[in-house]
């Protein structure tokens, strides 16, 4: 089972205003939506859509936290830890040709919240624990290291580049994008060869496998035995939100099912290509994925 940890989830509030915002004016939205957000939650949703066994945990509190619990009922299995603070609300306003974002930082939590998350993990005894997303005020990367050291599970992480550099444990996977890979290693990542070099340096810091999303340059997976580059799939891109989470979910689900690194990367890229063809982080239909994965253009690096 793949268990995801989202320490700082959010309710994503998106609303559309027909015209540009005006100072002092009352304007009304014509379309609005609320979604349970958070990188770990996204990963669990994609893993479930692929038919894998998964469970999402993390920290939730207040009416926004209760919304996340309710919104995920019937979609994925969850076992969240309650907190006294209010789960953050992230608001995006689409106004004319402009987009505005206002995000909460999240509730201030302490080490006891990490203790409760660890106990939740031990109770479910997963094969893989994926810690994804930002940390709320009051926690630092030592919380992630505690999760990695708390059980026999393989730990995967998708956190910011500076956080990757500060982690001190041994990790089965990390999933940076180009900017995070550069920030974690202090290297330039402006080409595929530079990405391979940076991923190799990151492996030396304690990450067994590095899966990096490179936007239009596709993705790479650098492991203990070989390194692979997958070209981006030629699809109509509707929305890139969730693409990195989909790539990670596809790789983890495939690996958990026994796939080797080459097969896992193919699967991850195929999953991500389906996700970018749909708006938001909704889970698309994954039928015909075996054929799509086999068609991914992949190169093995020496």
Q: What is the CATH number of the domain that holds 264?
A: 3.40.1190.20
Taking only the tens place, the pLDDT of each residue in 231-277 is 988 877 766 677 899 999 999 999 999 999 999 999 999 999 988 87
Asked if residue 278 has pLDDT above 70, the reply is no
Is 209 among the domain residues? Answer: yes
Is 20 among the domain residues? Answer: no
Number of domains in the chain: 1
245 is catalytic: yes
What is this structure's pTM? 0.93
Is 212 among the domain residues? Answer: yes
Asked if residue 281 has pLDDT above 80, the reply is no
Token pair of 184 as six digits: 């974690």
Is 226 among the domain residues? Answer: yes
Taking only the tens place, the pLDDT of each residue in 13-35 is 988 888 889 899 898 888 888 98
Token pair of 150 as six digits: 């708390």
Among the options 145, 245, 256, 261, which is catalytic?
A: 245
Taking only the tens place, the pLDDT of each residue in 217-229 is 999 999 999 999 9
The single-letter DSSP state of residue 205 is: T
Is 73 among the domain residues? Answer: no
Nearest to 144 by CA among 111, 103, 183, 181: 111
Model confidence at 164, pLDDT cuts 50, 70, 90, reads very high
Nearest to 281 by CA among 62, 30, 40: 40
Q: Is residue 250 within 8 Å of 54, Cβ to Cβ?
A: no
Is 149 among the domain residues? Answer: no
Is 247 among the domain residues? Answer: yes
Is 210 among the domain residues? Answer: yes
Tell me which residue range forms the domain holding 207.
160-302
């Amino acid at each position: 089972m793949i268990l995801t940890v989202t320490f700082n989830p959010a309710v994503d509030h998106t609303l559309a205003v027909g015209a540009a915002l005006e100072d002092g004016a009352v304007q009304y939205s014509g379309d609005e939506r609320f979604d349970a957000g958070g990188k770990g939650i996204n990963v669990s949703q994609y893993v479930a859509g692929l038919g894998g066994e998964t469970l999402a945990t993390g920290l939730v509190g207040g009416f926004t936290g209760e919304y996340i619990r309710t919104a995920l009922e019937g979609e994925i299995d969850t076992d969240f830890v309650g907190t006294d603070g209010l789960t953050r609300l992230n608001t995006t306003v689409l106004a004319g040709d402009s987009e505005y974002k206002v995000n909460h930082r999240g509730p201030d939590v302490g080490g006891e919240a990490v203790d409760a998350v660890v106990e939740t993990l031990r109770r479910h005894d997963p094969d893989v624990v994926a810690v994804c997303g930002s940390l709320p005020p009051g926690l630092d990367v030592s919380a992630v290291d505690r999760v990695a050291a708390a059980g026999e599970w393989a730990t995967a992480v998708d956190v910011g580049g500076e956080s990757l550099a500060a982690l001190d444990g041994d990790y089965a996977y990390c999933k940076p994008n180009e900017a995070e890979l550069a920030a974690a290693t202090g290297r330039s990542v402006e080409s595929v060869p530079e990405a391979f070099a940076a991923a190799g340096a990151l492996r030396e810091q304690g990450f067994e496998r590095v899966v990096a999303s490179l936007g239009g340059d596709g993705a790479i997976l650098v492991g203990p035995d070989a390194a692979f580059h997958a070209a981006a799939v030629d699809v109509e891109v509707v929305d890139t939100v969730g693409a990195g989470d989909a790539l990670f979910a596809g790789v983890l689900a495939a690996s958990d099912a026994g796939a080797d690194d080459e097969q896992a990367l193919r699967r991850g890229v195929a999953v991500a290509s389906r996700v970018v063809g749909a708006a938001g982080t909704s889970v698309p239909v994954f039928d015909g994925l075996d054929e799509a994965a086999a068609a991914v253009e992949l190169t093995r690096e020496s």
